[in-house]
Structure 1
Amino acid sequence: MKTEHNPNIDELLVKSMLDEASVAEQIEIKQWLLDDDDNQRYFEHFELIWTESKRLARRSTVDENAAWERFKARTVKQRETEVIPMYPKPVFRVLRMVAMVLMTAGVGWLSYLLATRSSSHEMLTISSGMQTLTDTLPDGSIVTLNRKSSISYPQEFAGTTRPVTLTGEAFFDVKPDKSKPFLISVNDVTVKVVGTSFNVKDNAEKTEVIVETGVVEVSRDTQRVRITPREEATIVKANAEMRKGIAADQFHNYYRTRRLFCDGTPLWRLVEILNEAYDADIVIGNQRLKNLPINTTFDQHSLESILGVVSETLSLKVEHHGDQIILK
């Protein structure tokens, strides 16, 4: 059944939208929807126009209640004179035309905004997967992502800042531009720089920033610190505490330089980095071994060769139990 065959359907749909339809009228609408697929499409279109008109009505000064009463009065009068229109009611025809014009203009404007925004603010996301990855950002800054890390940034830094979002760990070598600060968002921590090189690492326990060159500002809520070369800022997630101190080692560089530089490094710290770097499960089987110092440099060595050197240097035994490695 086509819409034109039921001249009262617009009125019934309006009453349904206003929750004023009687049970009999609701049944009539349901039957009309079942009669023809075109009726279902008409209803969906009508509902879309109704929703849009409600949004526009919020900015209108028209008294919609009074308008509805006038509409019902006209409808009752038409019933009394038993006038059967050959075409849809003029008021609805006009409303449909106006609504279609508004919707067409709205869609066109929305499409323009989206097209404009996508051309200058389209976000790009780079993920490293199981390998480290180096990428050049739109401003010429260089970022090196550690494994299982990702970074998102706009296709162009068109605003007054250079914003990026980091997940995981990355080393940044930022191109200087005093007029446009470089901002890194990592969870609820913000790292702000102008031109410098530094490492940012985020995991389940803490967020850590270590500076190699320049000055970096790290902030979280009302807390704020400035750090310089060889200094680090650490935000512990358990208590949201921010600490500033001297970087204890250079292990933040291992994924970028492929080198582990140990200078009096305690065994527990080397094990911690080896587990991270090689996705291993190494444990120290004897607590008295934890703080034994190591003084050597491992340059692109395999895990087995590193553990061999550690075993020889500290007179340890390396035992394999399934995937777990125990140092005794």
Structure 2
Amino acid sequence: MTDELLIKFLLKETSEEETTAIEKWLAADPANLSAFLELEKIWESSQLLAPKSPVNEETAWLNFKEKLSQKEKAETMPGHQVLQLKRNYNWIKVAAVFILAIGAWVAYEVLTPEKYMDLAANQEVIIQKLPDGSEVTLNKKSALSYASDFKTDRSVRLDSGEVFFKVAPDKSHPFVIKVDQISVKVVGTSFNVKHKNQQTEVIVETGIVKVSLKGETINLVAGERVLINASSGKLQKEQNQDQLYSYYRTRIFVLNNTPLPKFTEVLNQAYDAQIKLDPALKNLTLTTTLKLSEPLDYNLDIICQALNLTHSSNGKEILLSNRK
């Protein structure tokens, strides 16, 4: 990036293409910001040395531009030496770069008023301690972020996936989780939050959890759950019927009259599989306990024996259907 182009940008004389190029350059490398901050010191020093003048700054600058234009025309004539702009106007260069740096910094602060730390689980379940002593267990393919100053600002954003929270008690600093427009607020408790396919599920294991959406708030106690659809946007709590939600922590599938479509969805996530159900099976339920440590085929055999089903594979998908 040339000094001349930066000065043009400062004077708002750059073309749309040049402006885009400068903006990309500013965002391309954090080292640029470091260089700007170093130049800040130079700029502040130049302000202290700059003489006070009653002359109108805008008029003076316009006159200066006119003289600069005349001088450049004269220097292009035969017998005149052409000098680099940055040699003649180093002070202007410093001012331009400094203003650009401050502008970039202000834009960054406006766009990201709060700093958050990212935490994600890809193909493995991960357990992480947060700075306040709380513990989170992220299921595979889950991502969240938490405030960098977490001991005083215990706020978390769940972007996607499923997380079990074991919150350290701190009455003076409530623990708040944001999931789209949903807010989950606690002091010290343990609960599971799942956000997938525009649905958010909260299941409380211990303590009390306050769930809010669009001005409506409900309290959940141990053994209760709420399932929120993005389309309906209603908060309606109910008793949780099984412990299936905890499989990625306990490595055990605990089913109690669990709908087969729901369990199939969990199996697909747990084994990275593509199990499909024959539509005739959508109303079937299952009560049993299976181990995640067992191969998928083994668990499918047990399901088929219990429900008189069969499973077949085409290499990519597994189909569960009634036994003929």
Pairwise TM-score range, normalised by the shorter structure: 0.5 to 0.7
Q: 2:24 matched to which residue of 1?
A: none
Do the aligned residues in 2 keep the contact of 1:282 with 1:327 (CA within 8 Å)? Answer: no
2:4 pairs, out of 46, 50, 53, with: 46
The alignment's TM-score, normalised by the length of structure 1, stands at: 0.65
Structure 2 residue 222 is the aligned partner of structure 1 residue 264: no
- Please state whether the residue corresponding to 1:304 is helix, strand or coil: helix
Distance 1:86 1:299, change over 3 A: closer
Distance 1:247 1:69, change over 3 A: same
Distance in 2 of aligned mates of 1:62 and 1:245: 72
Distance in 1 of aligned mates of 2:92 and 2:279: 81
Distance in 1 of aligned mates of 2:198 and 2:250: 25
Distance in 2 of aligned mates of 1:269 and 1:101: 63
Q: 1:319 matched to which residue of 2?
A: 311
Unaligned runs of 5+ in 1: 1-40, 55-60, 115-120
Q: State the superposition RMSD in angstroms.
A: 4.1
Q: 2:58 matched to which residue of 1?
A: 64
- Please state whether the residue corresponding to 1:168 is helix, strand or coil: strand
- Please state whether the residue corresponding to 1:305 is helix, strand or coil: helix
Distance 1:275 1:163, change over 3 A: closer
- Paired-residue identity, %: 32
- 1:285 Cα deviation (Å)? 3.1
Distance in 2 of aligned mates of 1:299 and 1:70: 80
Distance in 2 of aligned mates of 1:281 and 1:326: 11
1:208 counterpart letter in structure 2: E
- 1:189 Cα deviation (Å)? 2.5
Superposition pairs for residues 148-159 of structure 1, below 5 Å? 148-157=141-150, 159=152
- Please state whether the residue corresponding to 1:139 is helix, strand or coil: coil
Distance 1:283 1:72, change over 3 A: closer
2:188 pairs, out of 184, 195, 198, with: 195
Q: 2:46 matched to which residue of 1?
A: none
Q: 2:136 matched to which residue of 1?
A: 143
2:62 counterpart letter in structure 1: W
Distance in 2 of aligned mates of 1:71 and 1:297: 82
- 1:318 Cα deviation (Å)? 1.3
Do the aligned residues in 1 keep the contact of 2:124 with 2:139 (CA within 8 Å)? Answer: yes
Distance in 1 of aligned mates of 2:187 and 2:98: 45
Distance 1:98 1:238, change over 3 A: same
Q: 1:242 matched to which residue of 2?
A: 235
Unaligned runs of 5+ in 2: 13-54, 74-78, 109-113
- 1:295 Cα deviation (Å)? 2.8
Q: 1:211 matched to which residue of 2?
A: 204
Q: What's the CA shift string for 1:285-327, capped at 9, x where partnerless? A: 362x54444332113333222222222223x131313122223
Distance 1:160 1:203, change over 3 A: closer
Distance in 1 of aligned mates of 2:278 and 2:61: 83
Q: 1:58 matched to which residue of 2?
A: none
Do the aligned residues in 2 keep the contact of 1:236 with 1:242 (CA within 8 Å)? Answer: no
Distance in 1 of aligned mates of 2:102 and 2:284: 70
Q: 1:279 matched to which residue of 2?
A: 272
Distance in 1 of aligned mates of 2:296 and 2:65: 82
- Please state whether the residue corresponding to 2:123 is helix, strand or coil: coil
- Please state whether the residue corresponding to 2:235 is helix, strand or coil: strand
- Please state whether the residue corresponding to 1:242 is helix, strand or coil: coil
Distance in 2 of aligned mates of 1:271 and 1:144: 22
Deviates more, 1:226-235 or 1:254-263: 226-235
Structure 2 residue 161 is the aligned partner of structure 1 residue 161: no
Distance in 2 of aligned mates of 1:267 and 1:227: 26
- 1:53 Cα deviation (Å)? 6.2
- 1:271 Cα deviation (Å)? 2.8
- Give the total of aligned pairs: 267
Q: 1:226 matched to which residue of 2?
A: 219
Q: What's the CA shift string for 1:206-240, capped at 9, x where partnerless? A: 11111111222223333333222122222212343
- 1:130 Cα deviation (Å)? 1.5
- Please state whether the residue corresponding to 2:245 is helix, strand or coil: helix
- 1:132 Cα deviation (Å)? 1.1
Q: 2:297 matched to which residue of 1?
A: 304
Q: 1:10 matched to which residue of 2?
A: none
Q: What's the CA shift string for 1:240-294, capped at 9, x where partnerless? A: 333332223221111111111122334343333323322333344362x544443
- 1:103 Cα deviation (Å)? 4.3
1:307 counterpart letter in structure 2: L
2:321 counterpart letter in structure 1: L
2:200 counterpart letter in structure 1: T
Q: 2:51 matched to which residue of 1?
A: none
- Please state whether the residue corresponding to 2:131 is helix, strand or coil: coil
- 1:139 Cα deviation (Å)? 1.3
Distance 1:144 1:213, change over 3 A: same
Do the aligned residues in 2 keep the contact of 1:225 with 1:233 (CA within 8 Å)? Answer: no
Structure number with larger C-alpha Rg: 1
Distance 1:100 1:67, change over 3 A: closer
Q: What's the CA shift string for 1:124-170, capped at 9, x where partnerless? A: 32321112111111111111111111222244425443334442111
